[in-house]
Amino acid sequence: MATHNVLLIGGGGREHALAWKLSQSELLKTLFIAPGNPGTSQFGKNISLDISDADRVVLFCRNKKVDLVVIGPEKPLVEGLADHLESHGISVFGPRKEAAKLEGSKMFAKKFMKKYEIPTASFKTFSSDKFDEALNYIEKRDRWPVVLKADGLAAGKGVFICESAEEAGQRLKQYRENDMLKEASDRLVIEDFMKGEEASVFVMCDGHSAKILHHAQDHKRIGDGDTGLNTGGMGAYSPAPIVDDHMLDRIEREIIAPTITGMQLEEAPYKGILYLGLMITPKGPKVVEYNCRFGDPECQVILPSLKNDLLDLMVASEEQRLDEKEIQVDELFRCCVVLASEGYPGSYQKGKRISGIENTDSNALIFQAGTALEHGELVTSGGRVMGVVGSGGTLQQAIDHAYDNVDKISFEGAYWRKDIGKKGLLHL
């Protein structure tokens, strides 16, 4: 049985979960993680490597005889790291730059969906020098709320749901004045608000075929009851009861199949993880957004359910043998609660000592994200510090298991939502 040296790119909670799952593979020889975090070091070798320098990544892969590079975050994918590596004969799990535009450009994605008749919200697009026209368009609307989306990547913070023209005007001003948003909002998408319930469906693709891995529901807002600012994600649970077998069949027929076919016709075949952010509306599933990688924290509840060897699936995908595989998941529910730093998603302090992880039970999974080691002690180093994953035969058991273990971990200013998973209970 051939074994593989693997380089995993990234250092968040998603990559900790990926490292944990990849380490279980019989096909794995050595796992390198760049840059990783204190949690990933349990499952491989953390590497200090500038992942924004594609030539250095190539050199590392050659020196260490890396057989497969797994790219976790969206930014290097959108910037074309997969293209650069593959041009040097290095295999990659993740889409090339043209395919990653499904996430990298909201405008591209919306026009793509319109062209291939994939259900989504109605929209209009504006360039940054036409924001006055955008505001005029909004003021004439008679349907509220309205959704504003920065065209480019904004770390999950480029989308605003506005209840009035006044609020929309304030958000347009924010796009102009906030340095991160200014770069992402060179173009703007304005779309109708879709009523329904959100769900995330994760699909593995090899350019020609696609297999659904599993589904989940994320909690984006910072506050209980889905209030406050958007974040990178404050928790998730899986599976999402609203995505029953009938709905999953519709998603496959109406969204996944035309997406894969459409990308082939665009001469940008999609390889890697396709994460569908969906709204389950009274008329059926509609695409809120495409993402070109695993979600974070959805990855933390999806991967523990997967019974397949993840590395085996990734190799099959890269070799376009995915149609030979049958995806298998267990029957347990999972709930992930994110512990965040006080002040997130705004400014927050770092360096707070973390304690109590050793007190969590053996069935709980703790995936580190914004952590660091200082003088041998684990401390906070990011807004989302870690995810605590509980499991159970019912969703309520998974929720209780997660929160029981959250209570055992502490650091100064720790914040977490108290209602992760409660929406799912309404559908059971």
Residue pLDDT, tens place only, 109-143: 999 999 999 999 999 999 878 888 888 898 888 88
Structure pTM? Answer: 0.95
What does the alpha-carbon distance between residue 296 and residue 143 come to, in Å, rounded to a whole number? 32
- Please answer whether residues 184 and 151 qualify as being in contact, where contact means their C-beta atoms are separated by less than 8 angstroms: yes
Residues 172-200 have a mean pLDDT of 88
Cα separations in angstroms, 91 against 68, 204, 260: 5, 16, 21
* Segments in 142-192 forming alpha helices (H): 165-177, 179-184
Which of 174, 97, 81, 82 minimizes the C-alpha distance to 131?
A: 174
**Proportion of the chain above pLDDT 90, given as a percent:** 85
- Please answer whether residues 9 and 316 qualify as being in contact, where contact means their C-beta atoms are separated by less than 8 angstroms: no
Query: Strand 210-218 to strand 197-206: parallel, antiparallel, or no bridges (unpaired)?
Result: antiparallel
Residue pLDDT, tens place only, 262-301: 999 999 999 999 999 999 999 999 999 999 999 999 999 9
Residue pLDDT, tens place only, 211-233: 999 999 999 999 999 999 889 99
| pLDDT for position 34 | 98
pLDDT value at 426 more than 90: no
Q: Hey, what domains does the chain have and what are their CATH numbers? A: 4-79 (3.40.50.20), 123-192 (3.30.1490.20), 195-324 (3.30.470.20), 333-425 (3.90.600.10)
Residue pLDDT, tens place only, 146-185: 999 998 988 777 888 899 989 988 998 888 888 778 888 8
Phi, psi of 309 (to 5 degrees): -75, 115
| pLDDT for position 396 | 98
What does the alpha-carbon distance between residue 166 and residue 371 come to, in Å, rounded to a whole number? 39
Residues 239-250 have a mean pLDDT of 96
| pLDDT for position 271 | 97
Find all residues with CB under 8 Å of 179, minimum gap 6, and list them. none
Residues 235-251 have a mean pLDDT of 96
| pLDDT for position 1 | 65
Residues 77-86 have a mean pLDDT of 97
| pLDDT for position 230 | 84
Residues 360-380 have a mean pLDDT of 97
Residue pLDDT, tens place only, 294-332: 999 999 999 999 999 999 999 999 999 999 999 999 999
Residue pLDDT, tens place only, 87-100: 999 999 999 999 99
| pLDDT for position 314 | 98
